[in-house]
């Protein structure tokens, strides 16, 4: 729909495997390199100022599929474990790393995760994961769909012929 991509072969979907393959070089190269550089710079500053090393905090914000691929990479999740991961919306996932930038196991992690844990009330995380699982099951016709409430069922509404030249879109509940 974006005119900047007219004529560019953009896939309409990307599998988790495709996403993981695309993400892996970034994690092992640019991301790890940037993390190592930030840690080393903190060490130089603390040595110069005679203070303890302040460990930097790194934040990654992305789509659910990219976060799943990142979890696969960091956790070493198998193809059988990945479908068990329901990423709760707007909930930070925390990893701690050792000096070699390897994730450290955490007692706060919930299976199938062993190292990462969600920084939120565990009951809220569990409820959000159940809601996600119910939505997936509904889409797969594994169980009856519940009636959505108006706040969560907005879909893109096609612009009328007179509005096609504008990039603005409106939303309606379907």
Q: Which has more confidence, 156 or 3?
A: 3
Residue 143 has a pLDDT of 57
- Closest of 71, 83, 80, 79 to residue 114, by C-alpha: 71
Instruction: Determine phi and psi for 171, rounding to 5 degrees.
Output: -125, 150
pLDDT surpasses 70 at 155: no
Sequence-distant (6+) residues with CB within 8 A of 169 are 156, 157, 159
130: which 2 tokens?
A: 């159940």
pLDDT tens digit string along 115-144? 999 999 989 999 998 888 888 777 776 555
pLDDT surpasses 60 at 45: yes
Average pLDDT, the chain: 80
> Hey, what's the torsion of the CAs at 136, 137, 143, 146, to 10 degrees?
-20
Q: For residue 173, what pLDDT band results from cuts at 50, 70 and 90?
A: very low
Strand partners, 170: 157
What domains can you pick out in the chain, each with its CATH number? 11-147 (3.40.50.1240)
For residue 146, whether the previous peptide bond is cis, meaning omega lies within 30 degrees of 0, is no
Map 24-51 to HEC letters.
HHHHHHHHHHHHHHHHHHHHHHHHHHCC
User: Rounded CA gap, 32 and 26, in Å?
Assistant: 8
Q: For residue 112, what pLDDT band results from cuts at 50, 70 and 90?
A: very high
């Amino acid at each position: 729909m974006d005119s900047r991509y007219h004529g560019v072969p953009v896939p309409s979907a990307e599998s988790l495997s495709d996403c993981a393959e695309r993400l892996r070089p970034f994690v092992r190269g640019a991301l790890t390199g940037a993390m190592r550089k930030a840690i080393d710079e903190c060490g130089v500053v603390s040595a110069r100022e005679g203070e303890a090393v302040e460990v930097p905090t790194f934040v990654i914000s992305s789509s659910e599929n990219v976060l799943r691929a990142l979890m696969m990479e960091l956790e070493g999740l198998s193809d059988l474990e990945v479908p068990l991961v329901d990423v709760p919306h707007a909930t930070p996932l925390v990893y701690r790393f050792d000096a070699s930038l390897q994730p450290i196991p955490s007692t706060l992690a919930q299976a199938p995760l062993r190292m990462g844990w969600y920084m939120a009330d565990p009951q809220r995380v569990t409820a959000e994961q159940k809601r996600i699982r119910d939505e997936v099951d509904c889409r797969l016709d594994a169980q009856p769909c519940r009636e959505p409430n108006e706040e969560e069922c907005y879909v893109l509404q096609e612009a009328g012929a007179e509005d096609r030249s504008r990039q603005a879109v409106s939303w309606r509940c379907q």
